[in-house]
Amino acid sequence: MQNPLESPPRRRPELVRPGSFARPSESFILPLDHTFLGSEDGENSLPEDSNEPLASVHGTDGDPQGTDDGEVRAVGHLGADEPALNVDQVIARFVDETKNRFRPDTPTAGDYSTAFRRFAKTVGLDSFSRKQLTPKRAHKIITDYMATMRPGSKRWILTALQRVWVYGGLGPWPIDIGRDFGRSLPKPQRREAPPDAEVLPFAKALAKEPDAYVRVFVRMMLTYGLRPVDQLGAIRWGNIRYDESGRPYAFVARGVEEGFKTGSPWIAHIPSDLATDLMEWNGKSPNSTPEALILPRMGKHGKIADAMRIHSNRSTEDLWKAYTARHGIRSALTMAHMRHFVKRHRRKGLDPAILAYWSGHDAKSEGGGMSLHYGTNLPVQEVLEEQSREWPEGPIGDLIPVRVLETAEITPQMMNAIREYMKGGSDSELTTVFGEARKKATPFVRP
């Protein structure tokens, strides 16, 4: 007969295979000799979370907090009479706790919530009570789940789960990046700027695109390289400046006032083709008042249900993919690639501060830091004049240059002068040839 004061004999635990997820009815315990190794490089959180109070629950000896024998007890001994976790409540608390952390017009909180809900459904998180979800069990559930994820997605998914786990009230984050993943997480890779030849099909297809809304969206992506949601999606009709004839000639938007991701202003000349598309879309838009969005969220069937609803990452991706599919563009280039394409072209010939305004970047940092800070706070009109003079058609003009054809009005001498000028010839020679032609013939520029 066993002494009631003695502890019952321990059963040998069984490991759960990676990719399987234990439920309360299953054995989900680790072997007694399981040792958690410390990080080799001292990393214990995601790089983007280095300032977060998200410490790992494991101490230096590898035991979870609240235990003294290094063993995780069987599920049936952990207060199974407690109610199961309510995933909706966890997510609701996360949203409430982070309401001032994420900007309200960005989809970050929603994206993180979706990722956590998918995780919770896959592992059956709602079948555990809080007491059953011990640190070691949580650690096992998360690492097994992450073993099924694609390498390129792991870093973002871990960030999403970590945020909701901690701010949703589930306790300390049980993962140590250095110990649990080592160097297996791919570091964020910087995209290379695509060559012109790969971007050219996107630009050429604009001439065949029948929808003015889509033309404005794509042409602005290729012209300015804006962030699709919190820049391009947040621009309003009131941010456009018009010339005396009523034609758009510039965008001027204050980053803070318009809710951009950063407070940097956006000051940009409008190329001629974009001005034409904007005028057409203005006449068709369901709301073209100054406070209305130029590009409100459009549904999959080309309908705008709410003219004041901002785009999400998913909706802009759907719009981009629909454009490429409609025009038979076989390319893996994304909108992010277009940002790099525009930045590469912006480096040609213009002052760094002037270029920074073109894409809504910080003119101080683009212009060389504090040493040039006082020379970057330029008057709006000065910025626009230099942009329109030096880069009138923007990156698309670099891809598809204006073609001048020889006609009865444009003589061979004028064509030769243009060719020499494009090769780097002097302005004076071009002016002389055109001046002589104007004196001898009727104006060759048609109204």
What percent of the chain shows pLDDT beyond 70?
A: 68
**Each residue of 68-91: pLDDT tens digit?**
334 344 444 445 467 899 999 999
Interacting residues of 425 by C-beta distance below 8 A, sequence separation 6+: 417
Q: How far apart are CA 220 and CA 210, in angstroms?
A: 16
**C-alpha angle with apex 228: 294 to 247, nearest 5 degrees?**
35
Helix %, strand %, coil % of the chain (to 5): 45, 5, 50
Give the per-residue pLDDT at 371: 36
Q: Which residue has the higher pLDDT, 298 or 27?
A: 298
User: pTM score, two decimals?
Assistant: 0.58
DSSP 183: T
pLDDT band (50, 70, 90) for residue 259:
low
Give the per-residue pLDDT at 25: 42
pLDDT band (50, 70, 90) for residue 186:
confident
Query: Is 70 exceeded by the pLDDT of residue 312?
Result: yes
H-run or E-run covering 335: helix 335-346
Q: How far apart are CA 70 and CA 31, in angstroms?
A: 10
Query: Is 60 exceeded by the pLDDT of residue 395?
Result: yes
Interacting residues of 339 by C-beta distance below 8 A, sequence separation 6+: 225, 226, 227, 359
H-run or E-run covering 380: helix 380-390
Query: What is the rounded average pLDDT for all residues in the chain?
Result: 77
**248-253 and 266-269: which strand pairing?**
antiparallel
Are 258 and 429 spatial neighbours (Cβ–Cβ below 8 Å)?
A: no
pLDDT band (50, 70, 90) for residue 4:
very low
Neighbours of 59 (CB within 10 A): 11
Q: In what order do the strands lie in the sheet with 266-269?
A: 240-242, 248-253, 266-269
- Distances in Å between the Cα of 98 and the Cα atoms of 15, 95, 165, 261, 280 are 36, 5, 12, 16, 41
Give the per-residue pLDDT at 119: 97
Query: Is 50 exceeded by the pLDDT of residue 111?
Result: yes
Interacting residues of 32 by C-beta distance below 8 A, sequence separation 6+: 10, 13, 70, 71
Query: Is 80 exceeded by the pLDDT of residue 9?
Result: no
- Distances in Å between the Cα of 323 and the Cα atoms of 217, 262, 319, 377 are 10, 28, 6, 38
Residue 354 burial by CB count (10 A; 0-12/13-18/19+): exposed, middle or buried? buried
Residue 376 burial by CB count (10 A; 0-12/13-18/19+): exposed, middle or buried? buried
Query: Is 50 exceeded by the pLDDT of residue 29?
Result: no
Average of pLDDT values for 350-379?
A: 66
* Per-domain residue ranges of the chain: 47-181, 196-396, 403-447
Low-confidence winner among 74-78, 209-213, 405-409 (lowest mean pLDDT): 74-78
Give the per-residue pLDDT at 373: 42
Q: How far apart are CA 212 and CA 285, in angstroms?
A: 10
Average of pLDDT values for 391-396?
A: 92
Q: How far apart are CA 250 and CA 242, in angstroms?
A: 7
Interacting residues of 287 by C-beta distance below 8 A, sequence separation 6+: 293, 296, 307, 308
Interacting residues of 9 by C-beta distance below 8 A, sequence separation 6+: none
Query: Is 80 exceeded by the pLDDT of residue 256?
Result: no
Query: Is 90 exceeded by the pLDDT of residue 233?
Result: no
77-116 burial, b at 16+ Cβ within 10 Å, e below that, comes to ebeeeeebbebeebbebbbeebeeebeebbbebebbbebb
Question: 196-396: what fold?
Answer: hpI Integrase; Chain A (1.10.443)
pLDDT band (50, 70, 90) for residue 257:
low
Are 249 and 270 spatial neighbours (Cβ–Cβ below 8 Å)?
A: yes
